[in-house]
Structure 1
Amino acid sequence: MTPTESWVFAAYVGAFGAAAVACGVAVLRARRVADDDTQRGLVGLLVGSGGWAFFQLLYLVVPGRALKYVAYDASLVVGLATIGGWLYFTSAYTGRTLHRQQTVRRLAVGVYASIVALKLTNPIHGWYFTLTAVESPFPHLAVQQGTVHWVVTGLSYALVAVGFFMLYELFVEADYDTRPLGVLVGVTGLPVAFDLFGFASPLLLDVNYEPLGVAAFALGVLYVYEAEFLAVQLTDGFDDPVVYLDDADRVRSANGRATAVFDALDGATGESLSAVLPDVAAVLDEDQPIVQRAVDGEARFFLVSSTSFTVGQSDVGRMVVFSDVTETERQRRELERQNEQLEGFAAAIRHELLNTLQIVSGHVSLVGDAIDDGDVDDARSYLQNASGAADRMAGVVDDLSVLARHGKTLGETERVSVAAAASDASEIADADIDVSVDGDGDVVADPERLEELFVSAFEFAAHNGAESVTVECGDGWFAVADDGRSLAAFDADALFEYGSAVPDAEAGILLPNVRMLAAVHGWEADLDADYDGGTRVVVSGTDGVVRPSVEAA
């Protein structure tokens, strides 16, 4: 052979030798794929393809016409078996059951045995192929394909195309970046072009190049894109957001639903999860990890769970799944709020009862002493004080019963003007103060409860020594600011607790009422610690969604 012919011959030997070795190396990795059926099909494909490449290599290097004939015939027999491995693998990987159906298996074995019989008896009838000595691109025995070969080849390509369809259908529906896998599958089918070119042109040998494509596919999906290869199968049929992390908790990819919910994931490949989604990273390993996100202007809650990807004994990453548990979480939070509310009411009633009983008991004792002393005026005064304390207690109980009704889960709501609700509340509140409104805004609320919130806020302001109150409106919040005394010296949490008697017993339930009526809407009420002109209560989160009814729960 000339130097050029030797180079071409070495290239063919190297290519098929490398394909055989690559398939063998890939088998070691494929045997550790977790899904048994996928593993079985993939190993069968790789063993068959590796054997196919090996016998093609023998066909090139062994001396003598007889040995070359046997090597090529063996390559056809083994190569035909790879179609079964391919279809078994693609069926299992895509979640189908064709590979398990006994009828399909028996038909496949029967067709395979019939074709193998034709190939093995080819020396007798010569219908499949013949060998002819040629000099280009180097001296070798060229294969002249017969009619039966083309019939079998057409059937084989049709069956292989079925596997391609199953894979690409899965990739399209995966809502996942499957472009690298799609390219690798395309590489698997690329050698068909070499087959056709080799048949039509003397520049390439007329042999089967498919083992080269299978080897490239196997190395790609098992060593380069193994995470994506496993993730697509595991997330098949998932409607939830999914993020894949590598073994160092860096973002490798995310499906479309995940990037729609978590904007920070867009373009975050290679960054750590703690930098991209710090709240998710913080709760990922908790027992009940819940994160909240705004989706289409609505607060949604997601349960975060993770599944490790392992190849053999090694972790190659993990898949983080976000399950939408909005309805359940809303119900849980609402029930938790109602329990806290009941506990607060119980504490308030206990405090008021004890306080009133002490007052009544003390004044009754004083009445007895006054009667013993013959002081009727003092006795009458003490009785009036005791009666007034009892009346106040009755009023508190009535107020708490009304608030208990208001504290139930919201039913029907509507858009309510903050300014209108404040104006109505100022007319019915037992408070001699001037009320003004700075701006206006709408909130989704129960009108009666919103009005009662302002009534409690105005009555507290009057009790706090205020002469005027300003209702302020902002984006997602409103506030009630008065010019009364500052409460900076008091514990902010105690001010909003029922039964705490902060800042005093008479005002003990007014600010707790404000927070409770805000919470029933899903809002938050807090004291503005930086306000120095009196007392300012801020209600935030007013752009949140209305909670659904959970009375049945």
Structure 2
Amino acid sequence: MPNLTASPQDIIRIAGTVIVLALAFVTVRHRRESGAWAVTGLLVSIAVWLGSSVLSAASGQSPQAVVWGKLLYTAAPFVVLFLFLFVLRYTGNDEYITPRTLALLAIEPAVVTVAVWTNQFHHLFWRDLQFVSGGYWHFQMTMGPVFHANVAYSYLLVLVGIGLVVRLLQVSQSLYPGQVYAVLAAILAPFVTDLVRQFGDLPISLTPVAFTFSGLVVTMAIFRFKLLDISPVAQDSVVENIRDGLFVLDRDDEFVEINSVAREYLDLEAEQVVGRSFADVLTDYPELFDEFADETDKESEVRVRTADSERFFHVQVTPLTDHRDELIGRQFLIHDVTERVARKRELERQNEQLDRFASVVSHDLRNPLNVASGRVELLREEIDDQHGHVDAIQQSHYRMERLIDDMLTLARDGQTISETERVSLPSVANAAWENVTTRDATLTLGTALSLEADEARLCRLFENLFRNAVEHSSTAPQSQAPEDAVERGSTSLTIEIGALTGPADRRPVGFYVADDGPGIPPEQRDRVLEDGFTTDDDGTGLGLSIVASIVDAHGWTIDVTESDQGGARFEIRDVTSARQAERAAEHSS
């Protein structure tokens, strides 16, 4: 007859079965996580073990009790197998989880399964079975050699698993030590209780309680300690393979992680760091300690000086929190920017030197040039210049003065721009138009674009493009003053400024300056932006070179092509509009 009286042990087993099945369902939802399959297999095997135990006890002395007992002993080796596979993955020994290894590990559970279900023919798993009543019916067995071999094999796998986890505790300075201890507890609990059952003398078996405890602990570790998100071994691998320096402090400001790059930066050894305080380790680096001693979310550049060197680091510190959003530590990411700072300093030094050189040259050349121009005017008053020689000399003086101005502008406008501001493209273009003598040329503005730029340099960019368009549309003979060179422009010349948009979202990506003049021959378009290139005997060859240097200084790009009217068209791209800059600032904040 079925046994309808539930013992305390049965109640524990029923509750354990329900709990473990629920936990198995939860882990199935994490099946894509590394190691989730092993946890799910472990929990399902435990549920089968516990459920079979309950059903066997509930079946009383009926033959079904033996069937459920066989299922119980079939599930037991699979519990150990999945537990061992999970430990292999968790401790970073994934290379052993291969089809060959799985096949070898499955041999023992398969042998046990066959031995259990065919025991009536050979009696190798149990030799004798009898029903006894101790308040409820259950059966007792005299176990055979296959059972004892299974126990020994299971203990061996469990002991290896315990050894792997203990070794992990020794070699890994994990941010989540509770995670490792939880796994260790999940292995030890059923192992210890089964030892007590095998060699002790308890009235009831605590193994069902231990298995339920193991399932609870593993599942708790999944959510509380992120068991399936990242293991200590995976965490160590990530930390060590980051190209930048990285170290981690716990809630007590003691080092728990530091990779080889950070150790090299700070000239430290791992054994000298882990477990020591932030202040103690950074005794030789007061600048770094003072900057970040109490910071949990900060990013800045720090100069670190030692007895024989000076280095610059870009340091970013971020908070580390637990599942309750409570601070458990800080993470420091360090990037060596010493070379970048050195290049920046050298570039600044070269720019200053170039600026001084250009100023000196400009000053030293202008003085004799002014004297020569004055002498030419006196000479004009004293002689009759029928052949225009005096005019030719003065024109050369004007060209030299223009050349000096362009050289000075080129030297200064080519320097890197560190700060920009929001400027209106039409406003800057109109201001530049007023600075250039354009005679009857017309400016058409087809955009209201605002962008981030250096307003003064953008103005000079437009001035040089306008001047280039006017001068190269000229058909009149040369005149005596530089202003006359501009006034030679055709009265029909039209210069247009418009926005360049992206092909997909139609957002502004730049602007263009086009005219309806004679244009630039295709074979010359790749050279017109070079220093000194000109097709005009009176030109300096620096006007468009200045344009290119201003574009480069902003980080933009420029292309020379043909306008719709057959004239020249200059397209400036990679421009950051004011709206894009605002969105970027909002995103970064």
SS of 2:35 mapped into structure 1: helix
Which residue is 1:256 aligned to? 257
> In structure 2, do the counterparts of structure 1 residues 191 and 228 end up closer, same or farther at CA, with 3 Å as the change threshold?
same
Match status 1:62 vs 2:62:
no
SS of 2:56 mapped into structure 1: helix
The superposition leaves residues 436-464 of structure 1 with CA deviations (integer Å, 9 ceiling, x where unpaired) of xxxxxxxxxxxxxxxxxxxxxxxxxxxxx
By how many angstroms is 1:217 displaced? 2.8
- Percentage identity across paired residues of the two chains: 15
> In structure 2, do the counterparts of structure 1 residues 105 and 231 end up closer, same or farther at CA, with 3 Å as the change threshold?
closer
CA contact (8 A) 1:184 1:216 kept: no
CA contact (8 A) 2:315 2:334 kept: yes
The superposition leaves residues 60-103 of structure 1 with CA deviations (integer Å, 9 ceiling, x where unpaired) of 33333422222221011112112332232222233324554333
Give the residue type in structure 1 aligned to 2:278: D
Give the residue type in structure 2 aligned to 1:223: F
Residues 133-532 of structure 1: pairs in structure 2 closer than 5 A: 133-134=131-132, 140-188=138-186, 189-206=188-205, 208-209=207-208, 211-226=211-226, 230=230, 232-237=232-237, 238-239=239-240, 241=246, 243=248, 255-257=256-258, 263=278, 281-283=297-299, 292=302, 301=313, 322=332, 324-326=334-336, 329-361=337-369
The superposition leaves residues 333-378 of structure 1 with CA deviations (integer Å, 9 ceiling, x where unpaired) of 2112222222222222222322333445456678999999xxxxxx
Residues 534-553 of structure 1: pairs in structure 2 closer than 5 A: none
Match for residue 44 of structure 1 among 41, 45, 49: 41
The superposition leaves residues 219-268 of structure 1 with CA deviations (integer Å, 9 ceiling, x where unpaired) of 231132226962524313333635599xxxx99997333986983899xx
CA distance in structure 1 between the aligned counterparts of 2:326 and 2:28, rounded to whole angstroms:
16
Give the residue type in structure 2 aligned to 1:148: V
> In structure 2, do the counterparts of structure 1 residues 277 and 123 end up closer, same or farther at CA, with 3 Å as the change threshold?
farther
Greater length-normalized contact order (CA 8 Å, ≥ 6 residues apart): 1
CA distance in structure 2 between the aligned counterparts of 1:19 and 1:302, rounded to whole angstroms:
53
By how many angstroms is 1:50 displaced? 2.2
By how many angstroms is 1:51 displaced? 1.9
> In structure 2, do the counterparts of structure 1 residues 174 and 55 end up closer, same or farther at CA, with 3 Å as the change threshold?
same
Which residue is 1:507 aligned to? none
The superposition leaves residues 154-198 of structure 1 with CA deviations (integer Å, 9 ceiling, x where unpaired) of 111112222233333333322224532333233222222222222
> In structure 2, do the counterparts of structure 1 residues 227 and 191 end up closer, same or farther at CA, with 3 Å as the change threshold?
closer
Could you state the TM-score of these two structures normalised by the residue count of structure 2? 0.48
CA distance in structure 2 between the aligned counterparts of 1:74 and 1:187, rounded to whole angstroms:
26
The two structures, once aligned, show a CA RMSD in angstroms of 4.8
CA distance in structure 2 between the aligned counterparts of 1:200 and 1:166, rounded to whole angstroms:
26
Gapped runs of 5+ residues in structure 2? 260-272, 282-290, 381-589
CA distance in structure 2 between the aligned counterparts of 1:305 and 1:316, rounded to whole angstroms:
16
Give the residue type in structure 1 aligned to 2:335: V
Could you state the TM-score of these two structures normalised by the residue count of structure 1? 0.51
> In structure 2, do the counterparts of structure 1 residues 216 and 192 end up closer, same or farther at CA, with 3 Å as the change threshold?
same
Which residue is 1:110 aligned to? 107
SS of 1:95 mapped into structure 2: coil
> In structure 2, do the counterparts of structure 1 residues 183 and 213 end up closer, same or farther at CA, with 3 Å as the change threshold?
same
CA distance in structure 2 between the aligned counterparts of 1:310 and 1:117, rounded to whole angstroms:
47
SS of 1:325 mapped into structure 2: strand
CA distance in structure 2 between the aligned counterparts of 1:88 and 1:172, rounded to whole angstroms:
21
SS of 1:127 mapped into structure 2: coil
Give the residue type in structure 2 aligned to 1:263: F
CA contact (8 A) 1:23 1:46 kept: yes
CA distance in structure 1 between the aligned counterparts of 2:14 and 2:331, rounded to whole angstroms:
42
CA contact (8 A) 2:35 2:228 kept: no
By how many angstroms is 1:306 displaced? 8.7
> More displaced, 167-176 or 296-305?
296-305
CA contact (8 A) 1:303 1:324 kept: yes
CA contact (8 A) 2:183 2:217 kept: yes
> In structure 2, do the counterparts of structure 1 residues 184 and 166 end up closer, same or farther at CA, with 3 Å as the change threshold?
same
Which residue is 1:91 aligned to? 88
CA contact (8 A) 2:125 2:147 kept: yes
> In structure 2, do the counterparts of structure 1 residues 361 and 330 end up closer, same or farther at CA, with 3 Å as the change threshold?
same
Structure of greater Rg: 2
CA contact (8 A) 1:242 1:322 kept: yes
Match for residue 120 of structure 1 among 111, 114, 117: 117
> In structure 2, do the counterparts of structure 1 residues 204 and 280 end up closer, same or farther at CA, with 3 Å as the change threshold?
same
Gapped runs of 5+ residues in structure 1? 1-5, 267-274, 284-289, 373-553
> In structure 2, do the counterparts of structure 1 residues 292 and 138 end up closer, same or farther at CA, with 3 Å as the change threshold?
farther
